Amino acid sequence: MTGYADGYWWSKDGLRLHYRDYPARPEHADRPPLLCLPGLTRNARDFEALAARYAGEWRLICPEMRGRAESAYAKDPMTYVPLSYIQDVERLLDDLGLGRFVLVGTSLGGIMTMIMAPIHKGRLAGAVLNDIGPDIEARGLERIRGYVGVASNHPTWVHAARALAESQADAYPDYDLEDWLGMARRLYRLNSGGRVVLDYDMRIAEPLRMPGGEAGVDMWPVMSAFRDIPTLILRGELSDLLSEATTRRMQSDIGDNATVTIVPHVGHTPTFAEAESIAAMDDFLARVNALEQADKRG
């Protein structure tokens, strides 16, 4: 596995939070790091495929949101909302003293990316929105509500993998047992009793269950924040969260700097391990690097 250092930082309400830091080689240390923001039930392990390909060429910083994996669980479950996650990440940016950076956001991480983009417009070297947009399809949202916060435990990793295969076959119809085992190891952990359990605080679901919890602000105006930077929009061909119509409108609103890649035979979300995702990321990072080098030359 690609090497990384474990890092920790503190939230403003006193939670010890964790991130993985995959370093760039010295000759690439001047490149803006990739700040990788995971989905609702995910953690730093979700970006292992991305790190396996790009660590060394780029620095990857993969924070785990409060209530996930090695980050502390919140005392108040009502802080399991994007605003709190963004405040936590802002403190990490300050602690690390990052100037310019690239945001890579999957699902919830993409919502965070959209909110953060106008705030950091001058510091943002590029952005990836992985199967997420300003409009979220009701069908996908209901599916997420149906499984988030539902405890699951299994006697072995194979049992966990088979459970994932039963629940997510529609999103990954081409997966075999090895693929499901890989996903299980990203989503689950061994508890003290030797059971394989989901690696997040079940209470992250509580804000979603509040009356009106699905209501949000109009996110379309923030698309303008991406117009001056390379922006990659990934959409799973089978996605039930990001529609084709929303994807087309995002591309139109952002303009020439937006590139859309449809990942075939995948739903919500692409994993960055697919050939189409890899090719899209290769091209995206080449564009980011070319623009950064041009800026340095003046």
Under DSSP, the state recorded for 169 is T
Specify the CATH number of the domain 5-145+223-297.
3.40.50.1820
**CA–CA gap between residue 228 and residue 101 (Å, rounded):** 14
- 250-270 average pLDDT score: 98
Instruction: Summarize the confidence of residues 95-114 as an average pLDDT.
Output: 97
In this predicted structure, the answer to whether residue 258 has a pLDDT above a threshold of 70 is yes
Sorted by where each begins, the domain ranges of the chain are 5-145+223-297
Say if residues 201 and 148 touch (Cβ distance below 8 Å).
no
Q: pLDDT category, 239, cuts 50, 70, 90? A: very high
Q: What is the dihedral of CA 245, 133, 168, 201, to 10 degrees?
A: -160
Residue with tokens 């990052």: 98
Backbone angles phi, psi at 93, to 5 degrees: -55, -45
Structure tokens that stand for 266 in this block: 């995948």
Helices (H), 39-156: 48-54, 82-96, 108-119, 138-147
Q: Which residues, in sequence order, are CB contacts of 17 under 8 Å at separation 6+?
A: 8, 9, 10, 11, 63, 64, 65, 66, 71, 72, 88, 92
Report the pLDDT averaged over residues 276-295: 96
Reported as a single tens digit per residue, the pLDDT across 74-100 is 999 999 999 999 999 999 999 999 999
E-assigned strand segments in 199-254: 231-236
